[in-house]
Amino acid sequence: MPVPHRSRAAVLILVLWAIAILALLAGGLSFVIGQDRMLGMYERDRVVAHWLARAGVERAVAGLMLDSLEVDTDTEEWGKDTTLDSAALGNGTFSVVRDDCDDTSLGQYGASDESAKLNVNTVTKDQLMKLPHMTAPVAASIVDWRDNNEQPEEEGVERGYYALLAHPYTIRNGPPRTVRELLLVREVTPELFYGEDTNVNGRLDDNENDGESNPPRDNGDGRLDRGWYAWLTVYSYEKNRDAKGNKRLNLKNADAGTLASQLQIEDWAAQSIVNRRSKQEFKHRVDLLDVPLDTSVNRGSRDNDVNARDDEHRDQPVTTGIFERIVDQLTLHDEERLSGRVNLNTAPREVLRALLPDEAVEAIVGQRQGGGYFTSIGELLRISGVTKETFGQVENAIAVRSSVFRIYSEGRAASGIRETIECVVDRGGQAPRMLYWLESSP
């Protein structure tokens, strides 16, 4: 019996619906497969970018470990290595960039010196106040955050303030473990802490120079306005050893024979130092310049002196020239590590101004820009505006060598996907040691 036309029409409609549904299912399946494929490619490239960034870290660490340790300047290869700019590796590139605070927009390639910064754990409130945009309440609150007591500084706050916040937390009352911990301190905002450089790569990126168009907020003036992150650290220290790696002589207890032989000074000069010490304790190494010839000591003939002295200073045990040469071999501390020393060769103006008069700061920066660097902290006495008194105030806060460095490495896959690693490495031991590690996706 023939199928009615109505039944055949219904079957046709069902077939068409089935085809449409299958087409939709096929399209959906194709879309899902495409999305999965794209996600897989993204994850693959993200892993590639991560390991490219890791390669940049390893390359920078290797450069630091190969560096001579006698003196550190940011003009050395670890601080200015153009081969770290978009270095090709496999199916991508990596770049290791660092901030150059003397430049308004461009950075350099290489590691950055943590000893170019003020150490939060040793800096004084007065020194903090000399940083741009710092206020008395913030400086006092930073000191309160790190100290181990509950007595607030003038204009500062202690545990009670943080306990009464809408989302309370406990004050550290001890040394901060990372510099970003300062974001927990009262009135420390991201704008003050980072400035315009929110990704801390030391570069003026497009979104950091477009006004209000994209975060962060900036003034679009073509200059990178830095925040406190660029000038503060918690990691810096100086090894209590001289340029050759020898343990320094403690000026408080070294005998005359040891001083004479190791410092290569005359016996009469060494004995005069010891005799002066027995009457008046040395508070600063620069006090050596005030040591007179002890009248009980046999001066001997000038012809036997191992150090040249002019007629005016013929009987002065330690002249300025001698002091410049020997100060690195001397200490007044027994600790193996001296926290918070600022490297005169790498510190930017903002940091130097916290320690020294403006006249001296400009002279130091001018000398460095002319290619002149310090091989001894004693050479600071040559700088205009630095007196013996000024030197004594800062000699325990300055150095010419560095042990801890920050590395900011960006890996970029061929697809353009990027991954960054920011880390802090201590090269002061036999092997490098990571103190901080942060991975991010820009």
pLDDT reported for residue 219? 73
pLDDT reported for residue 34? 66
Interatomic CA distance for residues 240 and 246, integer angstroms: 9
- Give 345's contacts (C-beta < 8 A, 6+ positions apart): 71, 72, 73, 74, 368, 373, 374, 400
pLDDT reported for residue 214? 73
Please list the residues that pair with 146 across neighbouring strands: none
Supply 394's token pair: 């800062």
Please list the residues that pair with 108 across neighbouring strands: 98
pLDDT reported for residue 38? 65
pLDDT reported for residue 325? 96
Interatomic CA distance for residues 15 and 2, integer angstroms: 20
Interatomic CA distance for residues 2 and 14, integer angstroms: 19
Q: Give average pLDDT by consecutive 10-residue segment, the chain, 442 residues.
A: 62 78 74 66 88 97 91 91 94 92 70 97 97 98 96 96 96 96 97 90 74 73 87 97 95 96 95 95 96 89 86 92 97 96 97 97 94 95 96 97 97 96 95 96 81
Supply 170's token pair: 């406990």
CA distances from 212 to 188, 193, 230 (A): 22, 19, 23
pLDDT reported for residue 107? 66
Domains present along the chain, CATH in parentheses: 1-116+343-369+400-442 (3.30.1300.30), 249-331 (no CATH)
Interatomic CA distance for residues 220 and 103, integer angstroms: 16
Enter the DSSP assignment of 292: P
Return the number of other C-beta atoms located less than 10 Å from residue 217's C-beta.
12
pLDDT reported for residue 106? 60
Q: Are strands 118-119 and 92-98 parallel, antiparallel or unpaired?
A: unpaired
